[in-house]
A and B are shown apart, each in its own frame.
Chain A
Amino acid sequence: MSNPLADMDKPDVIFCIGTNMTECHPVAATRLKRALARGAKMIVADPRRIGLAEIADVHLPLRVGSDVSLLLAMAHVIAREGLVDEGFMARRTAHGEDFLKHVERYTPEWAAEICECSPEDIEKAALLYGGADRGAIYYTVGVTEHICGVDNVQSLCNLALLTGNLGREGTGVNPMRGQNNIQGAGDAGALPNNYPGFQTVTDPAHREKFHKAYGRKVDLEVGMTKVTALDLCGDGIHAMMINGENTLVTDPDRHHCEHALKSLDCLIVIDIFMTDTARVADVVLPATAWAETDGVCTNTERRVQRLRAAVPPPGDAKPDWWIVSRLAQRMGWKGFEFESAKEVFNELCSLSSTYAGLDWDRIDRGEYQWPVPEVGHPGTPRLHEERFENGRGIFKMLDYRDPEETLSEEYPVWLTTGRRLPQYHTRTQTGRAAGIDYLLSEETLEVHPDDIVRLGLEDGGWAEMSNPRGCLHVKVRATSKSPRGTVFASFAFEDVPVNVLTGGGYDPVTQTAALKACPVALKPVGPPPALAGVGPQSGLGRL
């Protein structure tokens, strides 16, 4: 996030897009609700009538994957109505004139044809955000998990640059990170293009710095992304070490993924449960879990916080850092003689530009938000206050692109996926927590009542959902939360593995999978034989 969580109750106008915050980041959403109670206005762009949409002033039920068109039209209206922050654009941005010219042709009427929102609502949303003194944008993977994920984010940045909604209290462009330490994994250098602290691997100076620290010269060439690596399994990539990820279930196109992992000569999985991914490994190494591990995590607002062990781990389970460093020692490599999490974290800080002012003891109370470039620096709750890191904020001239796969006669319905409040990811954790099943014990496909009729389905009955990549059976639930023509399911339950269907393309820059827009066919089927005459299943036994 560019701005701290504490800023979330301060905007006049909140613009949420592709974020089902009340279910996926419920505590952050409470701050938005408090802002609304104080009189803030909210625009919610999401295909589904999610919880946030219910309390929004404007809900834009855009067609999945059409974000760029909507955002271009909003920029068009803001420019046309003179809601541009000219001072900010002159002082802080580049290519603003070009951008104003660029958006002239993207009228709300043009966008409405693509994003299926009414031109009036697009106007209304643009006037609200453009007219705000403090306008804040919040987004999640509903924006990024598309073939145009980067374009979507840059379109949001364009809006913020146009209206000067960056670098001030209650503003910003704020991604909500979905996992407790997904921010930290990137910070710590687990990226193919960056060393710790986002120092690019292609810069010889960075290579020199890490050569000195690690005693080995690292390639100047950017590594493969995980997506490419999975594509090349058995054909260039022959060994993988996977830490704490149930790749088979969470990644798109499960059949492809399963084939990939099985064609490796060596798969090492480090995890806390025997996940589906662990089951196909050559070696499974047991890790300590949350509340058993001392360590550090960084949240969505870049706050660096301590994790503390409260109970001993089961049996021989060990911290991940111990496992990987001991394996390195068995490989005969020097420099892996770490004895504590503190020692590991302090080495990370000593090599990271963003954590340079931090160490294990200094983060004890969680008061720092990176960057903390030197000792004594107070941290940076709000980014871009005085200047942008790279000088000026650059407007990007973007155009709308269709998703890689679009609707056809054969596959006439959009499937979009996501999470539900009580369950987390593939339920390896929440599925084993007592009571959670009381709130949600099975997956259902959310279908608009009109589509139920149109497709010959039955509320509470079963449907076969398929596309060229796969096929699954799922129980149907009629709800107007889904728009007509779009159905929704989560990927939490193993018996509804929606990721056998997803995987229609990737963002060309980040290689993020298009998990949110997937054409499918639906037809009614009978209940699965195992379930005929049986009540709701828990699926727990098969986790």
Chain B
Amino acid sequence: MKRNGTPSTNGKGVRLMMTLDGEKVAFTRGETIYEVAERHRKDIPTLCYDPRLEPFGGCRLCVVELEGARNPVASCTTEARPGMAVRTRTAALEVQRRILMEMVASENRDTDVDPMHGYASQEMAELLDRYDARTGRFEGARSGESRDDDDNPFIKRDYDNCISCYRCVRVCAEQEGDYAISIANRGFHTQITTEFGGLLKDSACTFCGQCIQTCPTGALGDLKALANRDVPGETKKTRTICPYCGVGCAVDVMTREEKIVGVLPAMDGPANEGSLCVKGQFAFDFVGHPERLSTPFLRDEKSGALRPASWDEALDFAAGKLRKVVKDHGRRAVYGIASGRAPHEAAYMMQRFIRAGLGTNHIDNCSRA
């Protein structure tokens, strides 16, 4: 887990210090070398790392040279210690990282994936470019079999593109507490799977989408967003809050032109810190639904049916009806019910209408039922 990075002392008031690429830096007790280096923007490459999860040390890309150690160590699993001297980017390390990336690339059918797959889906492709590692040097066996038989409408399971970083397995266990995803076999036979190897629907999966968002290769993908991959235009992100329950999860709504094409969890959302549920992640497309009301309606006096009207007509009609009620029955005969689903401004204006307009307190919201 991320520490706050406030330097701590050794208990005698002396700050804990280590050397990072020749520079003396302070650190907090319990911080890993990787976390200290990230604070100093060393940009150490990683594939199995997600700051919300316990360090795993699987991909070995984050190796650094530690003075006095015979071999490079994984910076994500090694705690910083006073007096340590660490080099994060040497020629030897870069060669080692490039070979690792060439091996990663050899495992996968696709090395370029559409960003609509998910939040972290470009991590592998970016590192392949950084290390110029699309050489095909280790072409050969691949691990992981795709689950084209899984007919769920949300989560693409294309394990041909899996590199066994286990981020999906770990996010499901550590972040969600659902333990729906597991690992079968080892080595080239490694397969990300669920209990009894069935469909996600028949597992403990809640379709929260966290596995999609942490996958660095596009092996897992957001099928709803991918369905919009051909919508033209640049993807724009707008920070807002999920419209469902009261937890208030922050999301980035992805739009192209004037269409919502998907939702990303906000990793820095104060209430959710990157988590979402199935509704927040996937249930966004009521917004552009063809059944949305797009014009006012009023009840035709003759036919008794609702018919479309202009705003002018509808507002005058409504005001006329309200005025008649006030005239016939007094100002206390009007009642307002505000929504727990609309923003503050809606509720505030409703109570202002009733109080400033009619001088009563006949206003409530939908929290009693």
A, B: real partners = yes
Give Cα A307–Cα B240 distance, bound, in whole angstroms. 5
Query: Counting CB contacts under 8 A, is B244 at the interface?
Result: yes
List A residues 194-250 near B (Cβ within 8 Å).
195-196, 201, 210, 214-219, 221-227, 229, 236-245, 247, 250
Task: Tell me whether B335 and A309 are in contact (CB under 8 A).
Answer: no
Task: Tell me whether A299 and B246 are in contact (CB under 8 A).
Answer: yes
Task: Tell me whether B224 and A265 are in contact (CB under 8 A).
Answer: no
Q: Choose one: A26, A34, A316; the contact of B294 (CB below 8 Å).
A: A316
On chain A, the number of residues with a Cβ less than 8 Å from chain B's Cβ atoms is 148
Task: Tell me whether B361 and A30 are in contact (CB under 8 A).
Answer: no
Task: Tell me whether B321 and A242 are in contact (CB under 8 A).
Answer: no
A sample of 7 more A-B contacts (CB under 8 A), given A240-B334, A314-B292, A314-B293, is: A250-B369, A278-B297, A286-B295, A307-B343, A435-B224, A436-B279, A438-B201
Query: Counting CB contacts under 8 A, is B362 at the interface?
Result: yes
Chain A residues with CB under 8 A of B178 = 33
Query: Counting CB contacts under 8 A, is B67 at the interface?
Result: no
Q: Which of B243, B336, B337, B359 gathers most chain A CB within 10 Å? A: B337
Give Cα A222–Cα B177 distance, bound, in whole angstroms. 46
The 3 closest A-B pairs by CB, nearest first: A299-B248, A315-B294, A33-B177
Give Cα A456–Cα B324 distance, bound, in whole angstroms. 56
Query: Counting CB contacts under 8 A, is B116 at the interface?
Result: no
Chain B residues with CB under 8 A of A327 = 315, 318-319, 322, 353
| Binary flags per residue of A263-278, CB closer than 8 Å to B gives 1, else 0 | 0011010011110001
Task: Tell me whether A34 and B177 are in contact (CB under 8 A).
Answer: yes
Return B322 CB to nearest CB of chain A, in Å. 6
Which chain A residue lies CB-closest to B357?
Answer: A333
Task: Tell me whether A24 and B357 are in contact (CB under 8 A).
Answer: no
List A residues 461-513 near B (Cβ within 8 Å).
510-513
Give Cα A292–Cα B287 distance, bound, in whole angstroms. 8
Task: Tell me whether A320 and B345 are in contact (CB under 8 A).
Answer: yes
Chain A residues with CB under 8 A of B242 = 180
Query: Counting CB contacts under 8 A, is B367 at the interface?
Result: yes
Chain A residues with CB under 8 A of B289 = 273, 432
| Binary flags per residue of B283-314, CB closer than 8 Å to A gives 1, else 0 | 11111110111111111000000100011001
Q: How large is the interface on B (under 10, 10 to 19, 20 to 34, 35 or more residues)?
A: 35 or more
Show 13 residue pairs from A and B whose CB-CB distance is below 8 angstroms, ordered by the A residue: A22-B206, A37-B177, A191-B351, A219-B361, A225-B364, A272-B286, A274-B291, A291-B260, A293-B343, A295-B345, A297-B344, A307-B240, A428-B286
Give Cα A336–Cα B358 distance, bound, in whole angstroms. 13
Contact (A214, B352) CB under 8 Å given A307-B240, A316-B294, A421-B278: yes
Give Cα A454–Cα B233 distance, bound, in whole angstroms. 61
A60-68, A150-158, A182-190 - the one binding chain B: A182-190
Task: Tell me whether B361 and A193 are in contact (CB under 8 A).
Answer: yes
Task: Tell me whether B240 and A286 are in contact (CB under 8 A).
Answer: no
Chain A residues with CB under 8 A of B175 = 30, 34
Which chain B residue lies CB-closest to A32?
Answer: B177
Which chain B residue lies CB-closest to A436?
Answer: B283
Return A61 CB to nearest CB of chain B, in Å. 22
Query: Counting CB contacts under 8 A, is A520 at the interface?
Result: no
Give Cα A311–Cα B289 distance, bound, in whole angstroms. 13
Q: Which of B242, B306, B323, B357 gathers most chain A CB within 10 Å? A: B357
Contact (A305, B250) CB under 8 Å given A218-B361, A285-B318: yes
Query: Counting CB contacts under 8 A, is A308 at the interface?
Result: yes
Return B151 CB to nearest CB of chain A, in Å. 8
A74-82, A105-113, A171-179, A443-451 - the one binding chain B: A171-179
Return B364 CB to nearest CB of chain A, in Å. 4
Query: Counting CB contacts under 8 A, is B111 at the interface?
Result: no
Contact (A344, B296) CB under 8 Å given A223-B363, A439-B207: no
Query: Counting CB contacts under 8 A, is A134 at the interface?
Result: no
Return B306 CB to nearest CB of chain A, in Å. 6
Query: Counting CB contacts under 8 A, is A25 at the interface?
Result: yes
List B residues 168-221 near A (Cβ within 8 Å).
174-178, 201, 206-208
Query: Counting CB contacts under 8 A, is B91 at the interface?
Result: no
Q: Choose one: A27, A192, A314, A321; the contact of B364 (CB below 8 Å).
A: A192
Give Cα A251–Cα B293 distance, bound, in whole angstroms. 23
| Binary flags per residue of A383-416, CB closer than 8 Å to B gives 1, else 0 | 0000000000000000000000000000000000
List A residues 15-59 near B (Cβ within 8 Å).
22, 24-30, 33-34, 36-37, 55
